[in-house]
């Protein structure tokens, strides 16, 4: 699998996205459980399947673009509203980037390391090692590239993130992960209770850091990505 990841990382992005879209629809056809859950979630959010059917192909694109983003040459990435990053850094309190699993969320950290880390220092992200040894090695390599630092998903890791923010640097948090027991709270989500992470808010309360929401838009025909900041 590690060899396959390295092989895929060398392919052009347009080809990876084309293969990924086909793979996404193949899984849709073969998995009745996936079809049922996607339709249920779509209805819960107030949409028809016709309105969100492109999500099937994009799920496959997401899977096959990861080797390129992690191990290969990072495709072109433009930041929309990048001035918000500059303004927040000028405050000297640091930035908490909330990066939900939306679009190509992986490109946000990698492109921050390339575009902003030379001026503002490395970005620190929470990291939970995979249970698969080969994948753990690949993920660790991708998280420890120049301009990136990692913190474990433990109390020690939270302390590391607080120290980073007090130094005026940035941290990244995936806010839609399920938190460990006693480290989250139940909140309504499209009419259903969801156990929700509170780490981002707690870090902001204790450090005064600016919270910015970012997500990576996948551009057509493999042209790269746009990271949206709000």
Tens digit of each residue's pLDDT (9 = 90 or more) over 18-53: 999 999 999 999 999 999 999 999 999 999 999 999
User: By the 8 A CB rule, do 142 and 71 touch?
Assistant: yes
State residue 3's pLDDT score. 77
State residue 137's pLDDT score. 67
Kindly give, in sequence order, each residue whose CB lies less than 8 Å from that of residue 77, ignoring residues fewer than 6 positions away: 107, 110, 111, 114, 115, 216, 224, 225, 226, 227
Tens digit of each residue's pLDDT (9 = 90 or more) over 159-208: 999 999 999 999 999 898 888 777 799 999 998 999 999 999 999 999 99
Q: In the predicted model, what is the mean pLDDT of the chain?
A: 90
Identify which has the larger pLDDT, 58 or 191: 58
Q: Rounded to whole angstroms, how far apart are CA atoms 200 and 97?
A: 8
């Amino acid at each position: 699998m590690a060899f396959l990841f390295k092989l895929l990382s060398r392919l052009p992005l347009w080809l990876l996205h084309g293969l990924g879209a086909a793979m996404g629809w193949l899984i849709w056809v073969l998995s009745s459980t996936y079809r049922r859950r996607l339709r249920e979630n779509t209805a819960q959010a107030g949409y028809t399947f016709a309105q969100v059917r492109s999500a099937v192909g994009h799920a496959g694109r997401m899977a096959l673009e990861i080797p390129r983003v992690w191990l290969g040459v990072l495709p072109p990435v433009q930041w929309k509203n990048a001035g918000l990053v500059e303004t927040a850094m000028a405050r000297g309190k640091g930035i908490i980037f909330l990066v939900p699993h939306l679009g190509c969320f992986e490109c946000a950290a990698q492109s921050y390391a390339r575009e902003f880390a030379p001026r503002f220092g490395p970005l620190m992200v929470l990291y939970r090692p995979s249970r698969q040894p080969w994948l753990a090695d690949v993920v660790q390599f991708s998280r420890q590239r120049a301009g990136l630092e990692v913190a474990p998903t433990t109390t020690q890791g939270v302390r590391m993130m607080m120290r980073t923010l007090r130094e005026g640097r940035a941290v990244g948090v995936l806010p839609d992960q399920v938190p460990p027991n006693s480290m989250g709270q139940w909140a309504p989500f499209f009419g259903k209770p969801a156990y929700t992470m509170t780490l981002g808010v707690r870090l902001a309360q204790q450090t005064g850091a600016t919270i910015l929401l970012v997500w990576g838009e996948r551009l057509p025909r493999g042209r790269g990505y746009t990271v949206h900041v709000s």
